[in-house]
Amino acid sequence: MRWFANADEAWVKDGKLQMTDSRLDYMDAAVELYQNKYVAFATEWSAAWYASMAGELPKNDTSGEATSETTQVFSYVMPSWGALVIRDNAKDNKGNFGVAKGICSFFGGGTFIGVNEFSDNQEEAKKFVEFCTLNEDVAQWWLEESDGDNVAIKSVLEANKDYENPSFGNQKTYEFFAEEASAVDYSLITRYDTAIGDAFGQAIEAIQKGEKDKETALKDFYLEVQSVYPEIEVPTV
């Protein structure tokens, strides 16, 4: 659910940390899901998390220990590339999942190649990056080669909007991703997001596990933000 933390406002605006009502509601929801055991306690990227995509798995308790009960995961909150993760691990469950919109549109990841400032061939390197990321023919090739991956070129997604993805019950996933790409609000993205988002997640986890109450967790979260970014004004508790 952490992808939804930027639902309505950037983390930092006019030099101030924006702790909105929706972020506090998100914190409460994450704690409620955890403490009421509405989650599978299968840590993201763990063996149990991957296995859960194929069907039922032993139900864990809050400590991560397996019990005699079984559970089945209803949904996963991931960016578009998460569709490949589910496809490649669903096994006989493939085709039973679909892609759907959450409370806000978002993206995760990016272009992890760039041009080094010390390169002797910067212009050639720039052309290579553009070839890999902005060329419509390359993007079309990758859609076909990957058999279901997403690309960040809306024109290519729209050109393939009628593609029915067999891994997701023949849903038109490219049509869905094209609509979502147009709805992403980039004004919510700041250079502070990773560090603040990680600290907010740690605050939530401390409440989930009963290590801190909400007031203490928020206070420590604000102190952490201010220690890392002294220029940011944080709320008082």
HEC string of 120-143?
A: CCHHHHHHHHHHHHCCHHHHHHHH
234: pLDDT strictly greater than 90: yes
* Domain annotation covers residue 91: no
Q: What is the pLDDT of residue 171?
A: 96
CA dist., res. 40 & res. 147, Å (int): 29
Q: Looking at the structure, tell me whether residues 180 and 196 fall in a common domain.
A: no
Q: Looking at the structure, tell me whether residues 195 and 179 fall in a common domain.
A: no
Nearest to 154 by CA among 183, 116, 125: 183
- pLDDT band with cut points at 50, 70 and 90 for residue 216: very high
Highest mean pLDDT among 8-17, 98-107, 185-194, 215-224 belongs to 215-224
Pairwise pLDDT comparison (202 vs 237), residue with the higher score: 202
* Domain annotation covers residue 129: yes
Whether the model pTM is above 0.85: no
Q: Looking at the structure, tell me whether residues 138 and 203 fall in a common domain.
A: no
Pairwise pLDDT comparison (17 vs 4), residue with the higher score: 17
Q: Looking at the structure, tell me whether residues 146 and 202 fall in a common domain.
A: no
Q: Looking at the structure, tell me whether residues 129 and 182 fall in a common domain.
A: yes
Residue 201 belongs to domain spanning: 1-35+191-232
Reported as a single tens digit per residue, the pLDDT across 28-42 is 999 999 999 899 888
CA end-to-end distance (rounded Å), the chain? 25
Cα-based distances in Å from 56 to 48, 75, 92, 93, 235: 10, 13, 12, 10, 43
Pairwise pLDDT comparison (108 vs 230), residue with the higher score: 230
Q: What residues are paired with 3 via a beta bridge?
A: none
Q: Looking at the structure, tell me whether residues 133 and 202 fall in a common domain.
A: no
Nearest to 96 by CA among 70, 74, 79: 74
Q: Looking at the structure, tell me whether residues 177 and 205 fall in a common domain.
A: no
* Domain annotation covers residue 141: yes
CA dist., res. 186 & res. 203, Å (int): 25
Q: Looking at the structure, tell me whether residues 131 and 147 fall in a common domain.
A: yes
Q: What is the pLDDT of residue 126?
A: 93
* Domain annotation covers residue 66: no
Q: Looking at the structure, tell me whether residues 181 and 110 fall in a common domain.
A: yes
* Domain annotation covers residue 147: yes
Reported as a single tens digit per residue, the pLDDT across 160-204 is 999 999 999 999 999 999 999 888 888 888 999 999 999 999 999
Q: What is the pLDDT of residue 110?
A: 64
* Domain annotation covers residue 122: yes
Report how many domains make up the chain: 2
Q: What is the pLDDT of residue 23?
A: 93
Coil, strand or helix at 205: helix
137: pLDDT strictly greater than 80: yes
Q: Looking at the structure, tell me whether residues 155 and 212 fall in a common domain.
A: no
Reported as a single tens digit per residue, the pLDDT across 143-155 is 999 988 999 899 9
Q: What is the pLDDT of residue 111?
A: 61
Q: Looking at the structure, tell me whether residues 147 and 217 fall in a common domain.
A: no
140: pLDDT strictly greater than 80: yes
Long-range contacts of 94-98, Cβ-Cβ distance < 8 Å, separation of 24 or more: 94/167, 95/166, 95/167, 95/168, 95/169, 95/170, 96/169, 97/53, 97/167, 97/168, 97/169, 98/168, 98/169, 98/171
Reported as a single tens digit per residue, the pLDDT across 45-82 is 999 899 999 998 887 766 667 778 888 999 999 989 89
Reported as a single tens digit per residue, the pLDDT across 78-123 is 989 899 999 999 999 999 999 999 888 887 776 677 898 999 999 9
Q: Looking at the structure, tell me whether residues 110 and 181 fall in a common domain.
A: yes
* Domain annotation covers residue 56: no
